[in-house]
């Protein structure tokens, strides 16, 4: 595991950055969570850009001796970055869920209110609004509380797995015989 120490380091960086970008809006004004610009920024940054950057950095840091770098080793190094980050993020989100359980409910209730207002502004029929609210209420257990934390992190783990597979394929060294042909 010592050879994967750089991956652990970059996983910690990714996890800490993720927590910081959750704490700052939470402290400043939790309504920022519902700002569309912030939501898009957060999705692009934390579901794509930062994981890719830190997985690449972690993978490249492991192969500093420029020895043969197999697909398996490249994949593992990238996946370790994501896994460590998720472990940190899961711990943080679980603590927040237990320390401030009303936050998750408030976020979900506010999301329902904002969706209702958006549908009303779009002159949607009352039946569609009621159906949307009913559907969101049925999904509440899957997106709030500890259940929401688990589901979100499992989805993120699967996404990080896919990223690690792609990064492993792009960072592996070609075999000598492949280079000759």
Q: What's the pLDDT at 162?
A: 94
Find the mean pLDDT for residues 106-110. 82
Q: At what angle do helices 145-171 and 50-62 cross, to 10 degrees?
A: 50
Per-residue pLDDT tens over the stretch 50-62: 999 999 998 888 8
pTM above 0.95, yes or no: no
Please name the residues in contact with 102: beta carbons below 8 A apart, sequence gap of 6 or more: none
State percent of the chain over pLDDT 70.
92
User: Confidence class of residue 179 from pLDDT cuts 50, 70 and 90?
Assistant: very low
Per-residue pLDDT tens over the stretch 81-98: 999 999 999 999 899 888
- Among 137, 101, 103, residue whose Cα is nearest residue 27: 103
Q: Is the pLDDT of residue 118 over 50?
A: yes
Per-residue pLDDT tens over the stretch 132-152: 889 888 887 777 778 888 988
Q: Is the pLDDT of residue 171 over 70?
A: yes
Other CB atoms within a 10 A radius of the CB of residue 79 amount to 24
Phi-psi region of 62 (alpha: psi -120 to 50; beta: other; left: phi over 0): alpha
Where do we find the tokens 């896919």? 162
């Amino acid at each position: 595991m010592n050879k994967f120490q750089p991956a652990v380091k970059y996983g910690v960086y990714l996890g800490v950055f993720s927590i910081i970008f959750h704490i700052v809006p939470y402290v400043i004004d939790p309504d920022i969570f519902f700002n569309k610009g912030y939501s898009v920024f957060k999705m692009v940054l934390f579901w794509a850009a930062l994981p890719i950057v830190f997985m690449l950095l972690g993978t490249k840091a492991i192969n500093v001796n420029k020895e043969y770098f197999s697909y398996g080793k490249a994949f593992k190094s990238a996946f370790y970055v994501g896994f460590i980050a998720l472990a940190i993020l899961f711990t943080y989100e679980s603590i927040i869920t237990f320390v401030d359980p009303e936050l998750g409910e408030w976020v979900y209730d506010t999301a329902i209110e904002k969706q209702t207002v958006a549908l009303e502004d779009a002159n949607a029929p009352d039946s569609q609004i009621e159906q949307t609210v009913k559907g969101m209420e049925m999904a509440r257990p899957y997106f709030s509380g500890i259940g929401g934390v688990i589901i979100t992190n499992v989805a993120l783990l699967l996404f990080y797995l896919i990223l690690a597979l792609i990064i492993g394929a792009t960072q592996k060294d070609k075999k000598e015989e492949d280079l000759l042909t």
